[in-house]
Amino acid sequence: MFQQREQLFGAGAATARLSMADALPSPAARAPAGKPTAARERWAHVLEIIRDTNWTPDLGTNIGSAEWFRGLATLCLLCTGAYAVWPGIHPLGAAAMAPAPVAREELRSQMIMPMAFGSDTGRAMAATDAVVALRQAPERPTIELAAVIGRGDSFMRVMQRAGVGGGDAQSVANLVSSVVPLSDIRDGTRIDIILGRRFARNQPRPVESIAFRARFDMNVEIVRAGSSLDLVQKPILVDATPLRIRGTVGSSLYRSARAAGAPPRAIQAYLQTLGSQMSIGSDIRATDEFDIIVDYKRAATGEVEMGELLYAGLERSGKPRAQMLRWKTGSGAQWFEASGVGEERGEFARPVNGAITSGYGSRRHPILGFRRMHSGLDFRARSGTPIHATADGVVNYAGRKGGYGNFVRIAHGGNLASGYGHMSRIAVSNGTRVRRGQVIGYVGSTGLSTGPHLHYEMYRGGRAVDPSSVKFTTRAQLSGSELANFRARLKQLQGVTPGAALQSIAPPSSAATAEPKREIERIAGTTIA
C-alpha cells in the first residue's frame, strides 16, 4: 500500500518529514482499468502534483508564505478531525461496597428515611401491660459543672447562675471572703462545682464541693461536712525572686533586650524611665550594658505572673550611668535615683476635655469690640462640665473677679500659678490644697462671656504666659528612715543574680517523702531468739 523510503542520517542529517508521496500509491496502481490513455495521464499528473507537494512544512520557518498557510490548513484539519472523534472525559463508575449485615442494621436504626424503604422512623408501637409509666424521671445523683468569673461579674452571681441555692451561695461567699476579698478574685478564674442530690424538685441542689484558685499562691476548696460547709486552704509554693536581665545594648536597645528575654511591656517602661534622664538616641552607646529588673512570681504548679518594672539601670565601662528604682510614696509610685531624688515631668495638662477655640495672643474682643491681649486659652465645653487642676498646688483665690466671673487661681510652686475663669460654680475654697486632676469647679458663662467655655491662664512670676509652653516638673527627696529603706531595697535588687528567677523551685523539706523500703531491708539486722 505504501511505498517505502529510506532516509540516511549522516553527520549533517536533515530533518525527517512525511510527504504525500509516502502515503499515496503510484499512478499505475491507482489508475482505473479500462480508462482512456488521456484520462489516465491526467490522473497521474494530478497524483504527481499531490505527491510532490509538501503538506506538512515546518511552521516555524517562512512564516506568512503560501507554503506556511498550507501547513496551517493541514494542522487545522487534523485538529478538527481529532476533536470530532474525541470520546470525551467521563468519570469511572465503581460499585459501592455493601456494608456488613450487622453494620447495616446499626446504620438503619439511626437513619431518617421513608418507612417504605425499611426505616423505623415514625413507627408507633403500642405499650403492653409490662410497661408502667414513671411518676417522675430519675435525676442524676450529682452534677459536675464549671463556671468562669467574667469581667464585671461578681462571685455571688456566678454561684447563683451555676444553680447554687441562695443559702449555700451566701455561705460559700462568707467562707471565701474570710480568706481573700471577693473583689480580688481575678476575671477568668475557673470554679469547679459539684452539686449533690436534692430531696424535692422544688429545692435547689446542695453544694457538695467547690474548688478554685483564690490567689496566685493558694487554692481553696469548700466541702460539705454534714449539714455545714467547711473551707480547706491549699497553699501553693511561690517563688518571688525578681527577674533580672542584663545585656549589651548593641545596634538596638529594644531588640537586644527582647533577645535577652525581657517582656515588651517591661522594655517600654525601661525606655520611658531612661528617657526622663537622658536621650535614648544620642546618650546611649552600643557598648553600654542595660540592667532590667522586673517583678516576677512563679508557682510550683507552673504558672508565671509578670509584674511591673522595678529597676532600670545602665552601665558604661563598668560604672553606673543611670540607676532608677521604683518606690512607693504617700502619693503613689514614683521613680527615684540611687541618691533618693525623684523627679516627675509632665506636659501641659488640659483642664477640660474640649477643643481650643481661642489661643494666646492679641485678638478682637467679641464683646468689647476692640483688639486687646488674650492672656490665656479658651476651651469649648458644655455648661456644667467638670474643671480639673492641671498640677498640684494651693488655691490662693476663689471667688468673683471682674470680667473673669467666677475665678479660681492655684499656686503650684516654682513661681508658677494657673487661673480658671467663667465658672458656673466653684468647688474649692481659698487655701485648699489640690492634687493634679482634682475637680475645682464647673464650666459656665459668668463675667464677660458670649457662651459656656473655660478661660485658662498660666502665670510665671505673676505675669501671664502661654499655657501651652509650660511643662510641670515635680521633685521629691527621700530622707530619714524612708531613705534607709530605699537604699536597702536598692542593694537587695542589685544583688539579684541574672536569671536566678528561672531556676527550678525546690520543694519544701516537709514535702519530701522517704523512699519505701523493701521487706528484706526492714528485717535486716534483727535477730531471732
Distance CA 240, CA 265 (A): 19
pTM above 0.75, yes or no: no
What single letter denotes the amino acid at residue 47? L
Residue 104 in this model has a pLDDT that exceeds 80: no
* Cβ neighbour number for residue 224 with a 10 Å cutoff: 16
3-state secondary structure 423-480: EEEECCCCCCEECCCCEEEEEECCCCCCCCEEEEEEEECCEEECHHHCCEEEEEECCH
Range list of β-strands (E), 262-415: 289-299, 304-316, 319-329, 332-337, 341-346, 356-358, 361-364, 371-374, 377-380, 386-388, 393-400, 406-413
The residues pairing with 334 across neighbouring beta strands, listed in sequence order, are 327
3-state secondary structure 22-75: HHCCCHHHHCCCCCCHHHHHHHHHHHHHHHHCCCCCCCCCCCCCHHHHHHHHHH
Distance CA 343, CA 472 (A): 10
Distance CA 379, CA 358 (A): 8
> What pLDDT band is residue 5 in, cutting at 50, 70 and 90?
very low
Residue 136 in this model has a pLDDT that exceeds 80: no
What count of Cα atoms within 13 Å lies in the side-chain half-sphere of residue 25? Answer: 8
Distance CA 352, CA 439 (A): 10
The torsion angles phi and psi of 289, rounded to 5 degrees, stand at -115, 130
Encode pLDDT of 467-500 as tens digits.
877 765 656 677 788 888 888 998 999 898 988 8
Residues 6 or more apart in contact with residue 251 via CB below 8 angstroms? 286
Q: Both ends of the chain: CA-CA distance in Å?
A: 122
Distance CA 422, CA 429 (A): 16
Residue 292 in this model has a pLDDT that exceeds 90: yes
E strand or H helix that includes residue 143: strand 143-148
Encode pLDDT of 40-85 as tens digits.
888 888 888 888 888 888 888 888 888 888 888 988 998 998 888 8
Residue with grid cell 534607709, as numbered in its chain: 484
> What pLDDT band is residue 210 in, cutting at 50, 70 and 90?
very high
Query: In this structure, what DSSP letter does residue 37 have?
Result: H
Residues 6 or more apart in contact with residue 483 via CB below 8 angstroms? 340
The residues pairing with 364 across neighbouring beta strands, listed in sequence order, are 371
The percentage of residues in the chain with a pLDDT greater than 90, rounded to a whole number, is 22
Distance CA 313, CA 216 (A): 29
Q: How many helices (H) and strands (E) does the chain have?
A: 11, 25
Q: Higher pLDDT residue, 496 or 200?
A: 496
Mean pLDDT, the chain, integer:
80
* Cβ neighbour number for residue 13 with a 10 Å cutoff: 9
What count of Cα atoms within 13 Å lies in the side-chain half-sphere of residue 358? Answer: 19
Distance CA 319, CA 406 (A): 56
Distance CA 522, CA 192 (A): 43
Q: Tell me how far CA of residue 90 lies from CA of 82, 96, 359, in angstroms.
A: 18, 18, 81
Query: In this structure, what DSSP letter does residue 444 have?
Result: B
What pLDDT score was predicted for residue 418? 92
